[in-house]
Amino acid sequence: MNEERRGVYPFCAPCTASSEAWAAETAGPMGSRFYGHRDVCENCGSSVRTLYNTVLWLPVSKVGQFRIIPTGGRTYVGRKVVTLPVQTVVRREPVSAIARHPELDADPGYQQAEVYWDDHEPGRALPFYQSALTEREKVLAADDPATLRVRLRVAQGLLATRNYGRAIAWFELLTPQLTQVFGPHHELTRAATEATTGARLMVGGPRSEAQLLADIVAADEDSLLARDPQVVRDRAALGRALLACGDISEALEALTQVVRDATPGHPDTAVYRAALAEACEIAEGRGKKREVQLAEAARRVLTGEGAPTSM
C-alpha cells in the first residue's frame, strides 16, 4: 500500500483529506437523490456527486457535495466534501481541571497504558485506559478535556480489538462532546468521526449494526443494572441504529428509556436528549399515528418535571 492509498478505507489519502466522514440521514417526508458524476479519483475511484432533496423525484433543495464509491446495486459509501475555512482566530485549547489532580497523569496504570499505546499494542493498553477513565471520572467531569482524551483512547481500543458495537456506542457519545469542547476540525474530533465510519464499514450497514447492538444490550441487561452507564450508552447506540434503519417506533422506545435512565446533570445526558429530540422530529415529520404518539410521550419525558437535563 503506497502513501496515496493510506486514507480511510476505501478512500485514498487525498480524498480523505478533502472530505469528512458522513452517514446518510434517515429519510423523512422527502426523498433524496445524487446528481452528477465528476472529479473521478484515479487512486480510489471515488467521484464527486451532488445530493438533492427531492419531491416526486424532482430536486427541490441542495444538500451538499459528496465523494461516492459504489459498493454494488444501490449501495455506496460516501464522504462529505469540505472546504476548511481559513481561521482568522485560532481556537484556544480548552483548559482542563486536571492541573488540580496531577496524580491522575502520574498514576502507574495510566503511564503503562500510554507505553502500550505508543508501542502499538491497543489490546494491552485498553484495560489500563478503562481503569484510568474510572479514576478520572471520580474527580473530573465527563466532558473535561483530560477525561475526553482517555474516553477516546477507550473507544479506539475497543475498535482496535474488534469490539465494534461498543466502539460505535462510545464514538457516538464522544463525537458531539469533542465537537463542543475542541471544535469540529480538531484532530481528536476528526479521529472520532473517522473511527465511527470505519467501525460501521466493518459491521456492514445499519441492519447489521442494530442486530449487533441488540445482542450487546441483551448481554448488558443480563449482567448490569438498568441505569449502569454502559447499559445506557449501548442502548442509546441501539436507538440510533434503529433510527438509521427506519424503525422509528423502536428507536423512540429505546431512546426514551435511555433518557429516563440517564443521570441528571451528567454531560452524557445532553447527547442522549439530543438523539431523542431528533427521533421525535423525524417521527413528527413522517406523521404516522403510532410514531407521533410515541414522539408525544417522548416529548413529555424531555420536558416533564423531574426529567434529566443537560444543565
Q: Check which CATH number belongs to the domain holding 114 and give it.
A: 1.25.40.10
Average pLDDT, integer, range 58-78: 80
**pLDDT of amino acid 4:** 45
Query: What is the extent of the structural domain holding 251?
Result: 206-303
Judge if 247 and 292 occupy the same domain.
yes
Judge if 159 and 223 occupy the same domain.
no
Task: Estimate to the nearest angstrom the gap between the alpha carbon of 16 and the chain centroid.
Answer: 18
Judge if 199 and 210 occupy the same domain.
no
Per residue, the 3-state secondary structure of the chain, as one string, reads: CCHHHCCCCCCCHHHHHCEEECCCCCCCCCEEEEEEEECCCCCCCCEEEEEEEEECCEEEEEEEEEEEEEEECCEEEEEEECCCCCCCCCCCCCCCHHHHCCHHHHCHHHHHHHHHHHCCCHHHHHHHHHHHHHHHHHHCCCCCHHHHHHHHHHHHHHHHCCCHHHHHHHHHHHHHHHHHHHCCCCHHHHHHHHHHHHHHHHHCCHHHHHHHHHHHHHHHHHHCCCCCHHHHHHHHHHHHHHHHHCCHHHHHHHHHHHHHHCCCCCHHHHHHHHHHHHHHHHHHHHCCHHHHHHHHHHHHHHHCCCCCCCC
Per residue, the 3-state secondary structure of 196-222, as one string, reads: HHHHHHHHCCHHHHHHHHHHHHHHHHH
- Whether 70 maps to a domain, the answer reads yes
Name which residue leads in pLDDT, 13 or 152: 152
- Whether 93 maps to a domain, the answer reads no
- Whether 231 maps to a domain, the answer reads yes
CA distance 26 to 61: 17
* Contact in structure between 233 and 173 (CB atoms under 8 Å): yes
Q: Using the predicted structure, report yes or no on whether residue 26 has a pLDDT greater than 50.
A: no
**pLDDT of amino acid 53:** 79
- Whether 254 maps to a domain, the answer reads yes
Judge if 9 and 71 occupy the same domain.
yes
User: Which residues sit opposite 34 in a β-bridge?
Assistant: 51
E-only strand ranges, the chain: 19-21, 31-38, 47-55, 58-72, 75-81
Judge if 221 and 267 occupy the same domain.
yes
**pLDDT of amino acid 88:** 45
CA angle, corner 140, sides to 135 and 145, nearest 5?
110
**pLDDT of amino acid 85:** 55
Average pLDDT, integer, range 229-243: 95
CA angle, corner 266, sides to 237 and 241, nearest 5?
10
**pLDDT of amino acid 40:** 86
Choose the final residue of a domain: 203, 237, 263.
203
How many domains, in total, are found in the chain?
3
Choose the final residue of a domain: 183, 203, 223.
203
Judge if 106 and 197 occupy the same domain.
yes
Judge if 119 and 143 occupy the same domain.
yes
Nearest to 265 by CA among 203, 307, 234, 235: 307
- Whether 142 maps to a domain, the answer reads yes
**DSSP-assigned letter for residue 4:** G
Judge if 176 and 213 occupy the same domain.
no
CA distance 228 to 147: 19
Average pLDDT, integer, range 124-133: 97
Judge if 157 and 198 occupy the same domain.
yes
Mean pLDDT is lowest, of 56-70, 180-194, 257-271, for: 56-70
Choose the final residue of a domain: 188, 203, 218.
203
pTM (predicted TM-score): 0.74
- Whether 97 maps to a domain, the answer reads no
Average pLDDT, integer, range 242-251: 91
